[in-house]
Amino acid sequence: MKKFLRVLLALLVVAIIGGCLYLNTLMPIITGYAAKNLASAVFISGRQQADVEALDLKFSFIKFNHNKVDYEKKTVTSRFLWAKSTAAYREGYGVTLLRGKKKDKKAFLEQKYPLPAAEALPDYLQPGDSALAARLEPIAKALVDDRTYNGHPFAFVVLHKGGVVAERYDSGITAGTQLLSWSMGKSFTNALVGIMVKDGLLNIFAPMDIPEWQGDGRKNITLNDLMQMSSGLEWNENYGNRSDVNLMLHRETDMGLYTINKPLEHEPGSYWYYSSGNTNLIMRYLRGKFASDSEFLGYIRERLFAPLAINNAHLEPDMTGTPVGSSYLYVTARDYARFGQMYLDGGVVQGERILSEGWSDYVATPAPASEGRYGSFFWLNRSGACPDAPEDMYSCQGHDGQQIYIIPSKELVVVVLGYSPKPDRVINFNDLLRDIIEQL
């Protein structure tokens, strides 16, 4: 009996040590997620700490963090058990999760990339059909005020034929509130590529000149492969564990390089798998086409944001200064709506061509390996994900239910932002779209 108890005790000790070691590998994710998202919500969106903790951060181990907001230094430090993470806001750039050595963090906070002076441009959106707006008012109220469609929406904007026919905001949120894109940011990265193609700076079907890839099959990967989520690179996008996406976003200082170093698992173009790493790899690659960071950031502002009258975007960078195109864009609901309208209008804004000719058709064309569900950094409805919406609908989709729906056959753009996590609190988008379309 004593021998049995000794063995049992030994196994218990081993299990405890093993559990602590594994938990320690999760600490950068647990504390980093809280620090980064709370800092952005407070310093960019202007939300209250208690509200963010009660809604956005109330899940899994994340809810057990002790978070300290320093309004003077504009930092958030999150602690859980023996670990902590700090995220810092920099004016004009947004929030970055601080990683690496102490000297590296200090150097990052002191580093300044000259931002071009931004001229405030007027919002060119105009009111749409008033009769349609009246018919959509009960739907807007049901979605945002009553939450009849589930989830916790912050903002709702509908454009029909380019005019605003519905607009509603949750308590504490206004038309000027910048809200998180999550993976809708991938579609903005797609737009940046489309602009650079128009300017003759890129060929998306040519192999990429990435030095780390020249000795193996990765040398054949193209920008098109990456944007169609068919690069063949090893990746794990599971948000619920110690996956590649969580390690990249919460541990790495150079997110694009993290993906560059992944091995090839499938022939490029032959296998579809969703990867946030692809986007950050692309953003790092695009940055390398410019002589300086200020030139790159100036190009994004001048060629993408300015035509859309996006005056105060925060495209947050990693520790190297590269924007995290996969996930960390903050703009207003109307900004997202104008972005969707640009694609609906074939890449043209107020008579000016912004995207390469045919780019909207390209992004809505199914990636060969995706079985009709995905185009180029846009999701497609050809697979019937929303059965009551037209087949030609395509969309930008974010991790917590952020959506921009583009429906060419109905001349419709629908934006829904907020907190709608899977699986139990997700907004019933199919019913929402059906109800909107029925009013046209």
How would you class 119 by CB atoms within 10 Å of its CB: exposed for 0-12, middle for 13-18, buried for 19 or more?
exposed
pLDDT for residue 117 is more than 70: no
| Whole-number Å distance between alpha carbons of 266 and 263 | 9
pLDDT at position 379: 98
Give the phi and the psi of residue 369 in degrees, each rounded to 5.
Answer: -90, 0
The residue behind tokens 């199919």 is 430
Would you give the distance in Å from CA 329 to the centre of its chain?
A: 6
Q: What is the pLDDT of residues 362-375, one digit of tens each?
A: 999 999 999 999 99
Q: What is the pLDDT of residues 261-297, one digit of tens each?
A: 999 999 999 999 999 999 999 999 999 999 999 899 9
- Is residue 331 very low, low, confident or very high in pLDDT (cuts 50, 70, 90)? very high
Let me know: does 356 contact 198? Beta carbons within 8 Å. Answer: yes
Q: What is the pLDDT of residues 192-240, one digit of tens each?
A: 999 999 999 999 999 999 999 999 999 999 999 999 999 999 999 998 7
Let me know: does 340 contact 159? Beta carbons within 8 Å. Answer: yes
Contacts of 49 (CB under 8 A, 6+ apart): 38, 42, 67, 69
Predicted TM-score (pTM) of the model is 0.95
Neighbouring CB atoms inside 10 A of 141's CB total 14
Pairing of strands 163-169, 126-127: parallel
Three-class SS state of 154: strand
pLDDT for residue 15 is more than 70: no
Of the candidates 361, 359, 376, the residue with the CA atom closest to the CA atom of residue 198: 359
> 363-368 long-range contacts, Cβ below 8 Å, gap at least 24?
363/187, 363/190, 363/194, 363/394, 364/392, 364/394, 367/228, 367/229, 367/230, 367/272, 368/228, 368/230, 368/269
The two structure tokens encoding residue 172? 């504490």
Cα–Cα–Cα angle for 131, 137, 143, nearest 5°? 150
pLDDT at position 40: 98
The two structure tokens encoding residue 319? 């520790």
The residue behind tokens 């919460």 is 250
ω before 423 within 30° of 0 (cis)? yes
Domains and CATH numbers, the chain: 2-110 (no CATH), 130-438 (3.40.710.10)
- Is residue 383 very low, low, confident or very high in pLDDT (cuts 50, 70, 90)? confident
Q: What is the DSSP letter of 233?
A: B
Let me know: does 95 contact 39? Beta carbons within 8 Å. Answer: yes
Q: What is the DSSP string of 299-336?
A: HHIIIIIGGGT--S-EE-B-TTS-B-TTT-EEE-HHHH
